[in-house]
Structure 1
Amino acid sequence: MPGSCDVVVIGGGQAGLAAGFYLRRAGLDYVILDAQSRPGGAWRHGWDSLRLFSPAEYSPLPGWGMPRQEGEEFPTAGHVVDYLRAYEQRYDLPVRRPVRVRAVRSAGDDLVVDAGTWLARYVISATGSWECPYVPDVAGREEFAGRQLHTVNYTSPEAFRGQRVVVVGGGNSAAQILAEVSRVAEATWVTLRPARFMPDDVDGRVLFGVATRTAAGGAGGSVSDLGDIVMVPVVRAVRDRGVLHARPMFARLTAHGVLWSDGTEQPCDAVIWCTGFRPNLAHLAPLLPAWQQGEVATEGTRSVNEPRLYLLGYGDWTGPASATLVGAGRTAKAALVVAHAAECDGV
């Protein structure tokens, strides 16, 4: 048995490291179990041109802000990976990898983390969603003879040069991938609902301020009220080229393309599904028997049905903007609540 401790954190990405910062500050005995082979979380797997949509100083984890990347206003994914690696080392966080947690179960006063096995009084789940890409169940998907891939499998536009490509999705990933694919291919953008663009002067700096006020209980609305797509330079550029126009969702896929609601068929060679993710929570199924694929009922970041379980970094349902770097840091303060509970339990 690897051991027992006060708290096991599952996931060593941005949310898990932020939780580790507060657990370390509280002086608790804890461990972070990460399924990845190296530091960096999901940022290691983004497409080649992926960047933050805010300057480095507006994307901090607690205790130590992200250093600026020389020559870049908006840091690259590689820079974020370097920052997370350095953050982990700076605070000497006890990350063990690669360790994949298969299940969490209750065992009397303890929780059993089935990764070899660990016993803990509390568990913080911070596994994110990157490993659970979502593709809608669209008619004709099985008969389409072209290439289909999700955001997780996209790396660069070169593989689509000269092809006819349909990009599906109404968020930042879809807009940014459309921007670069449309330079080398005949690209069509499709969204389920009309795309909502943020004003040109809104980037991560403004979102940082809105998230701050929201977290403090202030008025003025939430980040989502501003829109879904941040107009970073690459997206403004594709708009200026006249390409940033979305069509309503097609009726179905055919063997060789998409069928629109008016009955016309458009040939295409590839479909890129930029349709988001679902929380990576299968390891919690034994602990929460009533759980269905999706969100877990929480009060703040604490599970309603299992008070020894906390969830960090999965989206707004675990705290405002909690799936972002700055949001993960803020909601990770819930680890202090865990620490207080542990002290009350006498651990």
Structure 2
Amino acid sequence: MTLVDAFDVVVIGGGQSGLAAARAALDAGLDPVVLEAGEQATGSWPHYYDSLTVFCPARYSALPSMAFPGGPDRYPHRDEVVAYLASYARDLARRGVEIRTGARVTDVRADRERFTVRLADGTTLNAPAVIAATGSFANPHVPRLEGQEGFAGELLHAAGYKNPEPYAGRRIIVVGAGNSAVQIAAELAEIATVTLATREPVRFLEQRPLGKDVHFWFKVTGFDRLPARLVTSPPTGPVLDEGSYRQALREGRVDRRPMLTRLDGEEVVWSDGGREHADVVLLATGYRPQLGYLDGLGALDERGHPRHDRGLSTTHPGLGFLGLEWQRNPASNSLRGVGRDARYLIGKLRSRLGARRVRAGV
């Protein structure tokens, strides 16, 4: 076992949240290390479906201190985000930040002075502060559907969807009412018969009201900084649309129906009792925080969600979380908002680090 105790902050996760945390720590005069389980520090972006474009213009899709390249009003493609994050990681490395890829964290423990972070290869790191920034893509939320064990068709989550080619000519039910559900359903409808199954009607939000992207209005009105504590139950966001998705529903290219009640062999059973054959049920039902490495720490609730206040652990001083939905405001888990949260979190954690340095005589 290799033991290392040389960093101020261990950042777990090398995606957009982890990179933003490392930059904030560096700017605060701290020495972070970033641990990324994958082969490159680009988070989950390489694994999203092929056609994904960011719902936010490039001018608002940048991390701190590095503008997103290209036209500021365009909507970047998934692969452009991957390239941007890789460039951001290289810049951090040039500035002296150590980024370890292939470094999967298995366990985090704590005593009164420090955290012990264990990796799958046996390496152990010690530090007075830890930031959990592993996102949620690897932990898709898969609600149980009655009869799913005997379903003769294909049941998959959107995390496993890449492109429509394998589904040509098939009967597909997409479950969900968010951006990804509607975008995937519209894409599949070009080559398949698609129904969007939702508990409530799909809510849409105009992408460019009065000729400006909605994120411009989020910024000037202050909506992006609306404190999460003012919202008792953070809402599911509406689908951003310039009109094409609403048109697909109006014209029946994508059929919207109330949520199915169960699966039965080759069929889905609808709320009105009707039945029909389905080849594929695709669940666009979101994700949950991927924090299993904290199970032994006592920092999570019974659902596996972090106990925190605006990203600061309420059980372990020195532990922070980054990239959670509605962590501090509506933008918290996005490229446009995670940088602000990272600066806030590092500012709060720095006081613990300062006290530790005084005790150590630094």
TM-score by length of 1: 0.91
Q: CA deviation at 1:226?
A: 9.7
* Greater alpha carbon shift after TM alignment, 139-148 vs 286-295: 286-295
Structure 2 distance, partners of 1:191, 1:199, is: 20
Q: Aligned letter for 2:88?
A: Y
Q: Secondary structure at the match of 1:41?
A: coil
* Greater alpha carbon shift after TM alignment, 243-252 vs 4-13: 243-252
- Residue equivalent to 2:253: 243
Tell me which of 153, 157, 162 is aligned to 2:164.
157
- Residue equivalent to 1:284: 294
Q: Secondary structure at the match of 1:33?
A: strand
How do 1:264-275 residues align onto structure 2 when only pairs under 5 Å count?
264-275=274-285
Give CA deviations for 1:73-115 in whole Å, capped at 9, x if unaligned.
Answer: 2110000000001111123232101111111111341111111
**Residues 49 and 290 (structure 1), Cα distance of their counterparts in 2 relative to 1, 3 Å cut:** closer
Structure 2 distance, partners of 1:336, 1:271, is: 45
Give CA deviations for 1:231-258 in whole Å, capped at 9, x if unaligned.
Answer: 1565356346443552111110111121
- Residue equivalent to 1:343: 354
Structure 2 distance, partners of 1:160, 1:97, is: 34
Structure 1 distance, partners of 2:316, 2:212, is: 34
- Residue equivalent to 2:337: 327
Q: Percent identity?
A: 36
Q: Secondary structure at the match of 1:124?
A: strand
Q: CA deviation at 1:6?
A: 1.3
- Residue equivalent to 1:306: 316
Structure 1 distance, partners of 2:266, 2:9, is: 52
Give CA deviations for 1:156-176 in whole Å, capped at 9, x if unaligned.
Answer: 111110110000001011000
Is 1:129 paired with 2:136? yes
Q: Aligned letter for 2:275?
A: E
Q: Aligned letter for 1:68?
A: G
Give CA deviations for 1:7-42 in whole Å, capped at 9, x if unaligned.
Answer: 100000000000100111122122010111113111
Q: CA deviation at 1:138?
A: 1.1
Structure 2 distance, partners of 1:101, 1:226, is: 31
RMSD, aligned CA: 2.4
Q: Aligned letter for 2:8?
A: D
* Greater alpha carbon shift after TM alignment, 269-278 vs 208-217: 208-217
Contact 2:225-2:329 at 8 Å conserved across structures: no
Is 1:27 paired with 2:8? no
**Residues 77 and 343 (structure 1), Cα distance of their counterparts in 2 relative to 1, 3 Å cut:** same
Q: CA deviation at 1:291?
A: 2.7
Q: CA deviation at 1:292?
A: 1.8
- Residue equivalent to 1:173: 180
How do 1:40-189 residues align onto structure 2 when only pairs under 5 Å count?
40-68=42-70, 73-92=74-93, 93-115=97-119, 116-189=123-196
* Greater alpha carbon shift after TM alignment, 141-150 vs 317-326: 317-326
TM-score by length of 2: 0.88
Q: Which runs of 5+ in 2 are unaligned?
A: none
Contact 1:58-1:204 at 8 Å conserved across structures: no
Q: Which runs of 5+ in 1 are unaligned?
A: none
Structure 1 distance, partners of 2:117, 2:235, is: 38
**Residues 284 and 271 (structure 1), Cα distance of their counterparts in 2 relative to 1, 3 Å cut:** same
Is 1:193 paired with 2:200? yes
Q: Secondary structure at the match of 2:66?
A: coil
Give CA deviations for 1:42-90 in whole Å, capped at 9, x if unaligned.
Answer: 11101110110122111111111211269x9211000000000111112
Q: Secondary structure at the match of 1:230?
A: strand
Q: CA deviation at 1:319?
A: 4.1
Contact 2:195-2:254 at 8 Å conserved across structures: no
Q: Secondary structure at the match of 2:148?
A: coil
Is 1:316 paired with 2:326? yes
Q: How many residues align?
A: 343
* Greater alpha carbon shift after TM alignment, 206-215 vs 306-315: 206-215
Give CA deviations for 1:255-287 in whole Å, capped at 9, x if unaligned.
Answer: 112101222111110011100001101111111
Q: Aligned letter for 2:171?
A: R
Q: Secondary structure at the match of 1:276?
A: coil
Structure 1 distance, partners of 2:3, 2:99, is: 13
Structure 2 distance, partners of 1:336, 1:90, is: 22
